Amino acid sequence: MRIIAGSRRGRRLVAWEEAGIRPMRDFVRSALFNILSDLVPQARFLDLFCGTGSVGLEALSRGAREAVFVDRSEAACAIVGRNLAELGFTEQAKVVTAGFAEGIEGLARRGRAFDLVFVGPPYDRGLEAAALEQLGDGRILAPDAVVVSEGRKGTPFAECHGRLSRIDLRVYGDNVLVFYRLDASTGCAGPRGE
């Protein structure tokens, strides 16, 4: 697994097998960043359920100002730390060992706000919806923030979660990427299915 583009293009990441993590496939990561390309430079990036950190590391390589990585697995967070050190990104990043809900709450207490958020939880556990619902209150999102969630093809994704409104959905093999934007209004009354 390598960084696809940007200042660290071609650099190899620490092996993910050590922690039993399912990484995002390179072609899906490439498609994601092709869509987000104009939004990444100077963005504040949050990588939830970060695993090896490949998504947040890709964002840093492509010019994100900073990245915060959140995962409840100590092994995953250790791998992210090693990857940050290998790539020279430790000054621009923070690794938080916590579940997604605790991580979001901690960031909210510190007044953090992010321009881009990636949600990549383990499949088939309903964690996508739970994380999106918590993010939907907007407390840690900058104006016009974009939130992207990954899931297995066929996973139901609501049209909105609080102040997050779905703006796009892309299918890549058995993976789906769903894009939400923070709505300046009060948002939806509640989650609506497809």
Residue with tokens 């072609």: 27
Q: Transcribe 142-158 into DSSP letters.
A: EEEEEEEEEEETT----
Give all domains of the chain, ordered by start, each with its CATH number: 1-64+71-91 (3.40.50.150), 100-113+130-141+158-164 (no CATH)
- Encoded tokens for 163: 């102040």
- Tens of pLDDT, residue by residue over 62-82, are 999 999 999 999 999 999 999
- Per-residue pLDDT of the chain in tens (194 residues, 90 and over written 9): 889 999 999 999 886 665 556 678 888 999 999 999 999 999 999 999 998 899 999 999 999 999 999 999 999 999 999 999 999 999 999 999 999 999 999 999 999 999 999 999 988 888 999 999 999 999 999 999 999 999 999 888 999 999 999 999 999 999 999 999 998 765 564 444 44
User: Residue 57 contacts by C-beta under 8 Å, 6 or more apart in sequence?
Assistant: 3, 8, 13, 67, 80, 83, 84, 87, 89
- CB-based contact 192:155 (threshold 8 Å): no
